[in-house]
Amino acid sequence: MAGETFTQREVTRRSVLAGAGGAVAGLVVGGLAGNALAPKSTTSTSTSKGSLKVVGIFPTGGSIASDGKEMANGVKMAVDEINARGGLIGYQLTYVEIDDKDSSTDQITTAFNRAVSVEKADVIFSGYHLASGPEFDIVANAGLLYYNVNTQVAWLQKYTGNPSKYWGIFQCDPTEFWYGQGFAYWVDGALSQGLLNVSKKTCSIISGQSAYGTVIGTGFETQIKQLGWTVVSKDGVAEGNVPDWGPVLSKVKQLAPSVLFTSDFSPADDAAMAKAWAATPTKTLVYQQYGPSVPDYLTLAGSAANGIVWATVLGLLPDKIGNDFRARYAAKFGAQPGWANAGGCYDEVNVWATAVAIAGNPKDYKAVAKATESVIWRGTTGSISFENHTGRQFPAGTPDASLGQPHIIVQIQDGVQKVVSPTPFTSGTFVLPSWMR
């Protein structure tokens, strides 16, 4: 975690990724990802074994292009770093990027069919897709490897329903199920600790109408009620298509609950909502889901973002590993990464690379998949390990921070993102928003 030093374990790991010839058995644990995988000059004289076709599929040309570019940059950075180190156990990586634009069902299908049939990928990487679903059967039927950060309980259900079919697919982060439950516990604790100057345990919910937004909104409602809170209003919005926040927010403002929980993940929607809220706020803590993690959000929301609380289960941590990644990313792309998909997609490439090192043969896809199941990779978003081909969440999914990715809760303070939970990953403490003082 923060403050770790470079150890012999990382030196060994680095030599494996650069092309060491010895077989690797058992569990490989990724240590300081920033130092271990950053480009280093190499004088390796090992003979190249050929190349591996790495295909990245991202929505870089459509409605979520700002997030899609974060995904693409994370994968490209990891691939470039591995190649700069001399390759992966003797193989160079040949990278091809495919744009699935708005990631509609047809666009996803076309992109993944191209990756499988035209590009003949050895491995496929992506972040998330808005209409996620058709890609899983395309990859499974082709018998290929696919790593993503879709954050979907729907994937977990698909895998557990037929693990023998979906053996080559890994979701390298926890599901969205944890969002609602995690925030419910946090805000209830904040009230108990006197961090909120409200006395009523009341809340309003504005849920995104996608399956993703619905899972999160329902999860919060279920858990917050179990903690003794009253839901005074519920509404729904279509993510990415909210023309005017005025009417839906006016209902909330009339009731003035202690907490407003929203699950619209769109950065543009969330920024517009923050502005609408800031115009005439009530004494209510406002939670937004994921959208503020994307760099465009702060640009769009401006000072209206100050005081907003948001969260992600795929968070670029403010520790040595995360900050080292931030510095290298900024040097490569000329801008700071966002708080989720750049680091998450970078990590998933290194999860695969670690599994390849264990398996010893990147063309034996089933062996690489089997090795992936045993990987524990300490990356930019925390420790990635798998249960049912899905990442574990810390602290609710596992109490062991060395095995899970933390569900970080973040508050925007004077234009700066401050992680306020969970320890030991915090970079600040929660403060009451100006409108609640």
Return the percentage of the chain with pLDDT > 90, whole number.
Answer: 89
How many domains does the chain contain in total?
2
Long-range contacts made by residues 191-200, C-beta under 8 angstroms, separation at least 24? Answer: 191/258, 195/430, 195/432, 196/258, 196/285, 196/432, 196/436, 197/283, 197/432, 197/436, 197/437, 198/258, 198/283, 198/285, 198/436, 200/257, 200/258
pLDDT at 199: 87
More confidently predicted of 183 and 24: 183
Q: Do 336 and 304 have their domain in common?
A: no
Q: Do 114 and 228 have their domain in common?
A: no
Q: Do 298 and 365 have their domain in common?
A: no
More confidently predicted of 27 and 398: 398
Q: Do 418 and 368 have their domain in common?
A: no
On whether residue 147 sits in a domain, the answer given is yes
The stretch 389-411 carries a mean pLDDT of 97
On whether residue 22 sits in a domain, the answer given is yes
Q: Do 99 and 14 have their domain in common?
A: yes
The stretch 130-138 carries a mean pLDDT of 96
On whether residue 247 sits in a domain, the answer given is yes
Is pTM, for the whole model, over 0.75? yes
Q: Do 162 and 257 have their domain in common?
A: no
pLDDT over threshold 60, residue 33: no
Mean pLDDT, all residues of the chain? 91
Q: Do 99 and 146 have their domain in common?
A: yes
Instruction: Kindly write down the DSSP assignment for every residue of 360-400, as one continuous string.
Output: S-TT-HHHHHHHHTT-EEEETTEEE-EETTEE-EETTT-S-
The stretch 18-31 carries a mean pLDDT of 37
pLDDT at 38: 52
On whether residue 3 sits in a domain, the answer given is no
Question: What is the distance between the alpha carbons of residues 357 and 422, in angstroms, rounded to a whole number?
Answer: 32
On whether residue 1 sits in a domain, the answer given is no
Q: What is the pLDDT of residues 325-353, one digit of tens each?
A: 999 999 999 999 999 999 999 999 999 99
On whether residue 251 sits in a domain, the answer given is yes
CATH code, domain carrying 113: 3.40.50.2300
On whether residue 2 sits in a domain, the answer given is no
Q: Supply the range of the domain harboring residue 270.
A: 177-312+408-436
- Least trusted range by pLDDT, from 18-32, 126-140, 156-170: 18-32
pLDDT over threshold 80, residue 110: yes
pLDDT over threshold 80, residue 29: no
pLDDT at 47: 61
Q: Do 157 and 235 have their domain in common?
A: no
Q: Do 181 and 168 have their domain in common?
A: no
Q: Do 56 and 93 have their domain in common?
A: yes
Q: Do 337 and 412 have their domain in common?
A: no
On whether residue 305 sits in a domain, the answer given is yes
- Least trusted range by pLDDT, from 24-33, 47-56, 75-84, 315-324: 24-33
Q: Do 71 and 154 have their domain in common?
A: yes
